[in-house]
Amino acid sequence: MLRQLKAPVLQISETRGNPVETFSRQTTPIGRVVRVQLPVGSFTWHRPVAVEVRQGETVHRLPIHDTTSRAISAIVLTGLATVLVPLVIRTILFRRRKTS
Amino acid sequence: MITEEKAQAPLVDPTGQALSQLVTTARADTVFGHPVERGDTTVIPCSEIAVGMGMGSGSGPVDEKGNPTGGGSGGGGGARGRPVAAIIITKEGVRVEPIFDLTRIVLASLTTGAFMLFWVGRFFFTKPSGKGPSFSQFKRTIGS
């Protein structure tokens, strides 16, 4: 009976795009792949993370920020905090009042 | 008739196609577009891609003869992609310009606002010892 090699459930790897050479500068975009493999399905998330700029001997990395996701996360977290903080305070006050 | 149906059947296995699609997603070409050159400026578009798929199957109880009485299987999947940023290469240097998706932000704000309004309303119009008002009661209170 043939046995398949068991693939890891979570795989995180880095990918590199094609380098672009302009003005004696080499620019290479870098991405990150997150892969979740389960027996019932799989999920792959690939996003850009940085740009590597090589000029002569110098190499520097510029990060790529996902502004939209950050803004949405901030909005959702603010909403949750606005609801949860008064709820917790109210519950604590109510319990105190009940015990006294 | 059966021969015709066989002839019309797809030659490629759909599950295999979906799996190969997942493998393709992991390639760098899918996230980084081809560089576009205009004069002294080169632009590399960057996008985020997420692909997911799942499948499952089940069978019913076995009858006296040992045959399964029923069964079924199903699967589904989806893919999503959106632009994240653009890498701009000029004579002066390399910079990353983020792409701001205003539509998504507005939608998220509206959804969060509605969620907050509902819970804050429930919070203010609820007796601490009992259940909160129903949604219709809350709507009436907001309306009045």
Structural domain boundaries enclosing A97 = 66-100
For chain B, the domains span 1-53+77-99, 100-144
Quote the number of domains for chain A: 2
pLDDT(A64) > 90: yes
Q: What's the confidence (pLDDT) of residue B3? A: 44
Contact of B31 with chain A, judged by CB distance below 8 Å, is answered with yes
Q: Does A55 touch chain B if contact means CB atoms closer than 8 Å?
A: no
Q: Where are the beta strands (DSSP E) in chain B?
A: 36-38, 41-59, 71-89, 94-98
Are both A11 and A50 inside the same structural domain?
Answer: yes
Are residues A91 and A49 part of one domain? no
A60 lies in the same domain as A15: yes
Is residue B31 a contact partner of residue B48, using CB atoms and an 8 Å limit? yes
In a domain, A40, yes or no: yes
Looking at the domain assignment, is residue A89 inside a domain? yes
Is A38 in the same domain as A72? Answer: no
Residues above pLDDT 70, as percent of chain A: 93
- All residues of chain A having their beta carbon less than 8 Å from the beta carbon of residue B49 are 44-47
Report ipTM (2 d.p.).
0.78
Residue ranges in chain B whose pLDDT is less than 70: 1-26, 28, 126-139, 141-144
Q: Are residues A41 and A73 in the same domain?
A: no
State whether A12 and A60 are in the same domain. yes
Query: Is the pLDDT assigned to residue A45 strictly greater than 50?
Result: yes
Q: Are residues A39 and A82 in the same domain?
A: no
Buried-exposed string A32-65: b where 16+ CB fall within 10 A, e elsewhere: ebebeeeeebbbbbbbbbbbbbeeeeeeeebebe
Strands (E), A6-65: 10-16, 20-22, 25-38, 41-55, 58-63
How far B119 CA lies from chain A's nearest CA (Å)?
Answer: 6
Q: What is the pTM of this model?
A: 0.70
Q: Does A10 touch chain B (CB under 8 A)?
A: no
Of B4 and A73, the structure prediction assigns the larger pLDDT to: A73
A1: in domain = no
